[in-house]
Structure 1
Amino acid sequence: MFFVSKRMCDHNNAAPTPTIMADLLRLLLRVAEKAADVARVCRQEAPLFQLLVQEKTGDDKNKKFVQDFKTLADVVIQEMIRHDVGAQFPEMTGFIHGEESNKFENGLGESVVVTVCATEAETLALLATVLDGDRTAASLLAKAIHQDPAAVDTGTEGLSVPHRPSELGIWIDPIDATSQYIEGREEVLEEGRLSPSGLHCALVLIGVYLRSTGEPIMGVINQPFNHKDPAGGGWRGKHFWGVSCGSVKACSVSAPKPAPDRGEGGNGLSVVLSSSEKRLVTDALAPLCGPGRMMYASGAGYKILCVIQGLADVYVLSEGSTFKWDSCAPHALLRALGGGVVDLNKCLLSSGGTDGGEAQLTYHRPLAQSHGADRWANQGGLVAYVDCKSLHAVIDTLKDKL
């Protein structure tokens, strides 16, 4: 169930293109499901999985982690999405950005540029080169890349968003929470509760933003390892999507209930954090939270998804350790639900109260004087929220403490 407002926002007097935008959403849902299949294939084949991991180095390394891994699955998913979107919407080519470099080094020390070719046979041949001649593993990947999955029913035929594809850009995080994906713990998701770690934290994230303003207007999230099929035992996924453009709001998720009052007898705010969050922050937020309502989870995308699903009121991160590809897609869903993702530092420096408007994260400009992945870092930390009063409570609490 979702809500769609059919009033349309105005953007540079562009002619409305509802069919094209609905087509783009359907395409992103379809390629996200293909991406999930690739992620599952890679985990199902143990000999293949051992070949998939290599450590990032230099400017591409996320400095938050001692080891930050790039996998062939990441690269293949990113290039598959770039290929499929560019084929249907060529005017977006050049504005489809991803986390990963598409250069991969095989076991023989050969550097291979990974691309999706015109045919399955050509893609198989290229992947076999990456995989040291392992044509069986390459065939599994090529088949997943070139499959034509069943159409995903969005139910958004009436959606009208007046933006042309030439006005849009895309951020891809092919597998968010890669460390959880690599480790592969099979935790069971409990209804109504977040889980701190496990395969379910690994997400495919595709976010669409306006090139002119950096505003996120469409997001698709695919959770490849949501649950196991009781019959066959294989993993099954779940997808989420949202569209937000001015007065046009549509989301596959119902808005969570408002955050509880924090007065006498209130249950307190529920906050999800990184396990590496500063002690100063956790000590400051603790009085806002009731027993068991300060929680920890892996993966920036998963933590924001917890807010989208109402499993936490807010996600707070005080460090600049997330990137545009982590936040763009889920940010669009939160905006569709009336919330957002703000720069924490900007909010703390604001002299007056904030509704989050000026501090909302944007996605079109790199940071000056930064290099590599750091050019696209969410440098000031972030707060993800649905209800503005939750945002206000966090900012009021952390002001003058950071």
Structure 2
Amino acid sequence: MADLLRLLLQVGEKAANVARVCRQEAPLFQLLVQEKTGDDKNKKFVQDFKTLADVVIQEMIRHDVGTQFPEMVGFIHGEESNKFENGLGESVTVTVCSTEEETAKLLATVLDGDKTAASLLAQAIHQDLASIEASTDGLTVPLSPSELAIWIDPIGLHCALVLIGVYLRSTGEPVMGVINQPFNHKDPAGGGWRGKHYWGVSYGNINVCSVSRPNHGSKSQQGLSVVLSASEKQVVKEALTSLCGPDKLIYASGAGYKILCVIQGLSDIYILSEGSTFKWDSCAPHALLRALGGGVADLSKSLQSTCEGQETLTELTYNQPYTQHKGADRWANHGGLVAFRDSSQLRSIIDALKGKL
């Protein structure tokens, strides 16, 4: 398990490096921002270059983990489909090949022969990075890779987080998470972007996290802060304003980033009443929150159990699709979610929302 964690930290950094290359290298950055017009406007590779960057990262993680842990092949899932159609109408399946040259050749077919861009991407994919420093020595978890599966949220270049979450195939319980923030800060000397990573392991009595545990103290509910989407329902905003005060509602983009805000202690709670997030958004940060004594619960089920007089908080699991839905919606968190570090603070939030949704 320590070997798996070290590998996930390394592939997370490789993914972050691919994202930085996309922004720093002119030929790739041009594809990110270019808007084709006229006869070229239907060229899918330009319109979907952000998606292609996501797929490249996803397939790189799948390749690297599957190579070192073959028993996990077939259990490494991602947000994106890896099938593309190029400008000639040809269907291309994006995979990571055994050599940089072969990967570049494959990517060039997706990029309508743009060998420069394909070569830059392939170079970043196949780059050997030094091991990422993490205090994993002595970490012993009584699990084998054959019991585990992975959800990948490759990056979403607009929100810029690489999320790799590991869960038990049998129960869906999140047990390990790696988060990489590729654009955390700029190097004062060179001006290039530098990243930051976070990790956590939670299984049984083993709870280890790169982020320090919170010092709860005697925080009043009036001091609670909640991070939300700007598009959150007005009734939720009003209920939370009454509980916390108007200055304690924070708005941010990206589900993974908002859960990271809770992990870091920048906010106490993250609430989302809509079913607009997916397993790949929440699995990795959920594992970190569990290692810190918190979690991510299904908001709808938690509200329902509270209304029925129970104190049960139903945490999200990651192994079962919603069979009544199709496509990506099979893996949505349909009941909304609430992410927390302190369960006592969570109860106040649930009470404030009871009967409102």
- What TM-score results when the alignment is normalised by the length of structure 1? 0.82
1:234 aligned to which of 189, 192, 207: 192
1:110 aligned to which of 90, 100, 109: 90
Q: Specify the code of the residue in structure 2 equivalent to 1:164.
A: S
Q: Does 1:302 align with 2:282?
A: no
Structure-2 residue corresponding to 1:277:
232
Structure-2 residue corresponding to 1:86:
66
Structure-2 residue corresponding to 1:377:
332
Q: Does 1:119 align with 2:99?
A: yes
State the distance in 1 between where 2:327 and 2:48 align. 14
2:317 aligned to which of 362, 366, 371: 362
Structure-2 residue corresponding to 1:257:
215
State the distance in 1 between where 2:274 and 2:131 align. 39
State the secondary structure of the residue aligned to 1:143: helix
Q: Does 1:204 align with 2:162?
A: yes
Q: Specify the code of the residue in structure 2 equivalent to 1:327.
A: S
State the secondary structure of the residue aligned to 1:71: helix
Structure-2 residue corresponding to 1:224:
182
2:145 aligned to which of 165, 171, 177: 165
**How much does 1:287 deviate?**
1.5
Q: Does 1:339 align with 2:298?
A: no
State the secondary structure of the residue aligned to 2:154: strand
Q: Does 1:329 align with 2:266?
A: no
Query: Structure 1, residues 256-276: CA drift from partner, whole Å, max 9, x if none?
Result: 23275336xxx4210000111
> Structure 1 pair 272/260, CA: closer, same or farther in 2 (3 Å)?
farther
State the distance in 1 between where 2:68 and 2:318 align. 23
**Higher mean displacement: 326-335 or 249-258:** 249-258
**How much does 1:38 deviate?**
0.5
Q: Does 1:142 align with 2:142?
A: no
Structure-2 residue corresponding to 1:96:
76
Q: Specify the code of the residue in structure 1 equivalent to 2:213.
A: A
Tell which has more relative contact order, 1 or 2 (C-alpha 8 A, sep 6+). 1
**Higher mean displacement: 121-130 or 303-312:** 121-130
1:349 aligned to which of 284, 300, 304: 304
CA RMSD of the aligned region, Å? 1.9
2:154 aligned to which of 164, 169, 174: 174
Q: Specify the code of the residue in structure 2 equivalent to 1:367.
A: Y
**How much does 1:289 deviate?**
1.6
2:22 aligned to which of 42, 46, 49: 42
**How much does 1:82 deviate?**
0.3
**Higher mean displacement: 143-152 or 69-78:** 69-78
State the distance in 1 between where 2:332 and 2:241 align. 27
**How much does 1:340 deviate?**
0.1
State the secondary structure of the residue aligned to 2:319: coil
Q: Specify the code of the residue in structure 2 equivalent to 1:126.
A: L
State the secondary structure of the residue aligned to 1:292: helix
Structure with the largest fraction of helix: 2
Query: Structure 1, residues 187-224: CA drift from partner, whole Å, max 9, x if none?
Result: xxxxxxxxxxxxxx410000000000000000000000
State the distance in 2 between where 1:376 and 1:353 align. 27
State the distance in 2 between where 1:272 and 1:259 align. 21
State the distance in 1 between where 2:94 and 2:33 align. 15
Q: Specify the code of the residue in structure 2 equivalent to 1:296.
A: Y
State the secondary structure of the residue aligned to 1:383: strand
Q: Specify the code of the residue in structure 2 equivalent to 1:336.
A: A
Structure-2 residue corresponding to 1:243:
201
The count of residues paired between Structure 1 and Structure 2 equals: 344
**How much does 1:353 deviate?**
4.1
State the secondary structure of the residue aligned to 2:242: helix
**How much does 1:382 deviate?**
0.4
Query: Structure 1, residues 295-340: CA drift from partner, whole Å, max 9, x if none?
Result: 1000000000000000000000000000000000000000000000
**Higher mean displacement: 150-159 or 207-216:** 150-159
| Ranges in structure 1 where 5+ consecutive residues have no aligned partner | 1-20, 55-66, 183-200
Structure-2 residue corresponding to 1:13:
none
Q: Specify the code of the residue in structure 1 equivalent to 2:283.
A: C
**How much does 1:379 deviate?**
0.4
Query: Structure 1, residues 12-36: CA drift from partner, whole Å, max 9, x if none?
Result: xxxxxxxxx0000000000000000
Contact 1:259 1:269 in 2 (8 A): no
State the distance in 2 between where 1:393 and 1:275 align. 22
**How much does 1:68 deviate?**
10
